[in-house]
Chains A and B, each alone.
Chain A
Amino acid sequence: NAGVTQTPKFRILKIGQSMTLQCTQDMNHNYMYWYRQDPGMGLKLIYYSVGAGITDKGEVPNGYNVSRSTTEDFPLRLELAAPSQTSVYFCASSLLGTDNQPQHFGDGTRLSIL
């Protein structure tokens, strides 16, 4: 029962470096999401996808890019890491379009930019 899997769990980057946060789900969910959670704050939506080949910006997309080439995978890319991107990143998926389908979350990636 893997659900939503995120890798890596922890990462430290230098300013200006780039990296990709991986997210994969094995539930055949159509919708996938990337959130960031800053200390003492709720979740802010970065990007989401309603299916393979379709992505849309959320509330805080600047500095990030995503792709959705398969139903299972939804990687999040940081091109030029900045200290403001220090956060915990959560990937989630859901099967919308039917009766109540809540989001299933991964365990998060803790990212520090120094």
Chain B
Amino acid sequence: GEDVEQSLFLSVREGDSSVINCTYTDSSSTYLYWYKQEPGAGLQLLTYIFSNMDMKQDQRLTVLLNKKDKHLSLRIADTQTGDSAIYFCAEWNYGQNFVFGPGTRLSVLP
């Protein structure tokens, strides 16, 4: 079945860039998503990329997709303390359900 993997923890200093990585196994994935979960809250959609794209930029967020390696990354420029959260990678394809990774806990140090 499909599987989505992420590293569980990442620490960066405030002002640096954060790069959160994700790998997936389903080569037919149509959309790939990044969600953010703050403490005590539900998941909030940050951004997404369609599988025929290789890059998408949205303000401080840059998503890179390498379909050949089935690798997705989320880069957060100028990381702030408010970016501290758990970030989930998810994939979706027509006729199937969403598959989520285990989440990467981002800690931003002052």
Contacts and interface: CB of A to CB of B under 8 A. Distances in A.
Interface centre among B31, B98, B100 (most CB of A within 10 A): B98
Nearest to A99: B50
Contacts of B88: 42-43
Interface centre among A40, A41, A43 (most CB of B within 10 A): A43
Given A43-B43, A103-B98, 18 more contacts: A4-B42, A40-B8, A40-B102, A41-B102, A42-B101, A42-B102, A43-B88, A45-B97, A45-B98, A90-B42, A90-B43, A100-B31, A100-B48, A102-B45, A105-B44, A107-B42, A108-B41, A108-B42
Contacts of B8: 40
A43 B100 contact: yes
Interface centre among A40, A102, A105, A108 (most CB of B within 10 A): A102
Contacts of B97: 33, 45, 48, 58
Interface size class of B (residues with CB under 8 A): 20 to 34
A48 B40 CA distance: 23
A106 B48 contact: no
Contacts, number: 47
24 contacts: A40-B8, A40-B102, A41-B102, A41-B103, A42-B4, A42-B88, A42-B101, A43-B43, A45-B97, A90-B43, A92-B43, A96-B94, A100-B48, A102-B31, A102-B45, A102-B48, A103-B45, A104-B45, A105-B43, A105-B44, A106-B42, A107-B41, A107-B42, A108-B40
A53 B97 CA distance: 18
Contacts of B4: 42
Interface of A: 4, 33, 35, 40-43, 45, 48, 58, 90, 92, 96, 100, 102-108
Nearest to B31: A100
A96 B92 CA distance: 11
B24 interface: no
A108 B67 CA distance: 33
B91 to A, nearest CB: 12
A58 B43 CA distance: 19
